[in-house]
């Protein structure tokens, strides 16, 4: 990523509010540098009031006046209060920016899953990787970056002040600091080299964990546990080793600064006394400022090293940001203060523009594919110049051998995938636009029953955007042969989080009942009757036949029963209607 793009994307990530806070922190650090200057003057005032300096002392071009110890104490207290406020502001702003960016990035992640139609965002391992690794470390980067920037500004101003106080000594200090900086920079290069490896290992780890948790039984039965364990353990070891190395070099860089700084201080004092014969009072102020300068420099190099450690994750995060970022992280949603949240999150959700609205009857749509060609990246095309129409109110069956593209066709039909060429449309709209319409009711039942934690009634009403009463619910449950279970358990039976207590077929029928209750204009069934016996499957086929004219139905199935009343069956193996 080029520097210019990096800066542009960083500003986009921070937003107006973030940039304002960053400027706020930088201004605070300028104040801290000025406070250091006043402290060096105070030291001279103290020396005069203790009688340790009898000669008339000049600081910069001003004569240093004699001030009573009481007045000096008052000035010191005032300076301490200002310093306390400004220092707290700087560090808290960095912490705030860290949390603010973490909030924005995580919100963006969730937004992408729910509102974007790309296949990439449906990969749970990739999403977990982003939230737990990329975004958390990116926000750490922001905190270290803010602190480093503040320290850099503070250090630069201190250097300018050093030149004002004693330019010859300051010049030697500059050369020394440049040499120290070069050494620290080299060490930081090693930080970056090691840190770059960390996200790669984390990806391996996430993928490995997802694989074993999904296929636990298979792995156990195949006696592959040792192999899988070793593979993940290796990724873990590499992750820790690279992280530890990055931290080591970062700490080394932090400690190298002050160590070499003290050596530099000794050199400057010797040269100043032996060669420049600088006035004692000026030298004391200079030494105080130089020690503050070296301390700031070492803190800066520490922050810089840590920022370097997290930079690879930050860069990857920036690359994941797209044009929807501002929409997903709207400023109005993010009113958090330096010390906490201002608005409740719940309110934001209900304000969201894509919330469901109650709506009345909608006409069933016509679906068209015009010269659609689609291939997954680096693969042969699955469809080439596919042209077909699913008439409104018709019932279409999609069959075909495994891997012939049934799911892919459904993804194209719902806008989850885009054709490489040609056009898919629903009622002359791009599919994603059609399915995103607030007032269009769509039914979808997949092979895996989607149930929420709640009662059977909650589940039946989930996503249903028309008014329904208990009578309608009982009627539809009767149609899908679920009356007996409702008699036994009741509509308020709570489905557990692990969905235990219901058979696979019962769960699938609840999902079918939910889809039918919504009176959809478009109904998509993807292997939705896989767990039903023939008798129940026939019952569902009959219900689907009844709603034909009101609803365009697309059914993907390996089973003939559910397709009994279909108007057209498309065999993707040969892509010919049968």
Ligand X SMILES: Nc1ncnc2c1ncn2[C@@H]1O[C@H](COP(=O)(O)OP(=O)(O)OP(=O)(O)O)[C@@H](O)[C@H]1O
Under the rule (CB under 6 A), what is the footprint of ligand X?
Answer: 119, 376, 379, 382, 400, 402-408
d(CA 306, CA 240): 16
And the tokens for 215?
């296929």
Our CB check for ligand X shows the closer of 288 and 390 to be 390
And the tokens for 205?
């780890």
Pick the closest to residue 282 from 272, 274, 291 (CA basis): 272
CA distances from 84 to 81, 94, 313 (A): 5, 16, 33
And the tokens for 549?
């004219």
Our CB check for ligand X shows the closer of 238 and 571 to be 571
Least spacing, CB of residue 366 vs ligand X, in Å: 23
Give the DSSP letter of residue 109: H
Our CB check for ligand X shows the closer of 348 and 573 to be 573
Our CB check for ligand X shows the closer of 96 and 374 to be 374
And the tokens for 400?
């075909």
Contact criterion met (CB below 8 Å) for 469 and 518: no
Least spacing, CB of residue 257 vs ligand X, in Å: 49
Least spacing, CB of residue 446 vs ligand X, in Å: 11
Our CB check for ligand X shows the closer of 424 and 495 to be 424
Locate all alpha helices (DSSP H) within 116-166, ordered by sequence: 124-129, 136-165
Contact criterion met (CB below 8 Å) for 357 and 465: yes
Least spacing, CB of residue 563 vs ligand X, in Å: 15
Least spacing, CB of residue 222 vs ligand X, in Å: 21
Least spacing, CB of residue 402 vs ligand X, in Å: 3
Decide: helix, strand or coil at residue 363. coil
Give the DSSP letter of residue 532: S
Cα 346 to the chain's mean position, in Å? 20
Least spacing, CB of residue 221 vs ligand X, in Å: 22
The H or E element spanning position 110 is helix 69-115
Contact criterion met (CB below 8 Å) for 135 and 105: yes
Pick the closest to residue 525 from 540, 503, 546, 535 (CA basis): 540
Least spacing, CB of residue 401 vs ligand X, in Å: 7
Our CB check for ligand X shows the closer of 363 and 403 to be 403
Least spacing, CB of residue 160 vs ligand X, in Å: 58
d(CA 192, CA 246): 7
The H or E element spanning position 486 is helix 483-489
Our CB check for ligand X shows the closer of 332 and 402 to be 402
Least spacing, CB of residue 380 vs ligand X, in Å: 9
d(CA 530, CA 559): 8
Long-range contacts of 243-246 (CB under 8 A, 24+ apart): 243/194, 243/195, 243/198, 243/309, 245/190, 245/194, 246/191, 246/194, 246/195, 246/198, 246/308, 246/309
Our CB check for ligand X shows the closer of 176 and 405 to be 405
Our CB check for ligand X shows the closer of 404 and 553 to be 404
Torsion, Cα 453 458 464 465, to 10 degrees, reads: -110
Our CB check for ligand X shows the closer of 169 and 527 to be 527
And the tokens for 140?
């750490």
CA distances from 345 to 128, 348, 352, 359 (A): 22, 5, 11, 27
Least spacing, CB of residue 571 vs ligand X, in Å: 11
Our CB check for ligand X shows the closer of 283 and 563 to be 563
How many residues would you count in the chain? 578
Our CB check for ligand X shows the closer of 138 and 529 to be 529
Bridge-based pairing state of the strands 522-526 and 552-556: parallel
Pick the closest to residue 166 from 47, 39, 59, 275 (CA basis): 59
Contact criterion met (CB below 8 Å) for 510 and 451: yes
Least spacing, CB of residue 123 vs ligand X, in Å: 9
Our CB check for ligand X shows the closer of 185 and 376 to be 376
Least spacing, CB of residue 382 vs ligand X, in Å: 5
And the tokens for 63?
């004569």
């Amino acid at each position: 990523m080029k520097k210019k793009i990096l800066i542009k994307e960083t500003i986009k990530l921070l937003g107006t509010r973030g940039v304002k806070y960053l400027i706020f922190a930088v201004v605070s650090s300028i104040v801290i540098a000025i406070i250091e200057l006043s402290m060096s003057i105070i030291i001279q005032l103290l020396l005069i009031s203790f009688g340790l300096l009898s000669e008339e002392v000049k600081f910069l071009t001003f004569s240093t006046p004699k001030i009573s110890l009481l007045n000096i104490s008052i000035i010191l207290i005032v300076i301490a209060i200002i310093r306390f406020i400004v220092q707290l502001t700087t560090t808290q702003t960095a912490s705030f920016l860290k949390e603010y960016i973490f909030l924005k990035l995580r919100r963006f992640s969730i937004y992408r899953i729910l509102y974007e139609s790309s296949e990439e965002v449906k990969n749970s391992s990739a999403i977990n990787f982003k939230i737990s690794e990329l975004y958390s470390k990116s926000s750490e980067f922001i905190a270290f970056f803010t602190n480093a920037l503040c320290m850099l500004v503070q250090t630069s101003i201190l250097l300018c002040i050093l030149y004002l106080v004693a330019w010859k000594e300051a010049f030697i200090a500059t050369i020394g600091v440049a040499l120290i900086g070069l050494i620290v920079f080299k060490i930081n290069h090693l930080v970056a080299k090691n840190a770059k490896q960390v996200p790669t290992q984390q990806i391996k780890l996430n993928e490995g964990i997802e694989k074993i948790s999904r296929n636990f039984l298979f792995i156990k039965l195949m006696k592959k546990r040792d192999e899988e364990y070793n593979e993940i353990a290796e990724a873990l070891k590499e992750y820790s080793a690279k992280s530890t190395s990055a931290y080591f070099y970062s700490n080394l860089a932090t400690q190298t600064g002050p160590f070499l700084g003290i050596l530099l201080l000794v050199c400057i004092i010797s040269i100043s006394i032996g060669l420049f014969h600088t006035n004692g009072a000026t030298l004391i102020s200079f030494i105080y400022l130089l020690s503050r300068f070296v301390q700031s420099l070492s803190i800066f190099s520490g922050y810089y090293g840590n920022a370097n450690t997290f930079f690879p994750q930050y860069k990857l995060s920036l690359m994941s940001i797209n044009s929807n970022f501002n929409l997903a992280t709207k400023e109005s949603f993010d009113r958090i203060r330096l010390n906490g949240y201002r608005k409740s999150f719940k309110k934001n959700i209900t304000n969201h523009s894509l919330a469901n609205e109650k709506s009345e009857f909608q006409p069933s749509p016509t679906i068209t594919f015009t010269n659609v060609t689609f291939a997954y990246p680096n693969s042969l095309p699955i469809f080439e110049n596919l042209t077909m129409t699913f008439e409104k109110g018709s019932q279409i069956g999609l069959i075909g051998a495994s891997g012939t593209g049934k799911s892919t066709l459904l993804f194209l039909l719902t806008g989850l995938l885009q054709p490489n060429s040609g056009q898919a449309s629903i009622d002359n709209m791009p599919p994603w636009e059609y399915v995103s319409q607030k007032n269009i009711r769509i039914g979808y039942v997949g092979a895996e029953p989607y149930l929420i934690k709640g009662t059977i009634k909650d589940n039946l009403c989930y996503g249903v955007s028309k008014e329904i009463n208990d009578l309608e619910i009982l009627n539809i449950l009767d149609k899908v042969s679920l009356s007996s279970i409702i008699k036994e358990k009741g509509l308020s039976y709570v489905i557990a989080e692990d969905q235990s207590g219901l058979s696979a077929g019962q769960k699938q029928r609840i999902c079918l009942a939910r889809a039918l209750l919504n009176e959809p204009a478009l109904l998509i069934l993807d292997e939705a009757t896989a767990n039903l016996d023939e008798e129940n499957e026939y019952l569902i086929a009959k219900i689907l036949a009844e709603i034909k004219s009101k609803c365009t139905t697309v059914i993907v199935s390996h089973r003939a029963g559910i397709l009994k009343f279909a108007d057209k069956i498309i065999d993707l193996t040969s892509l010919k209607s049968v």
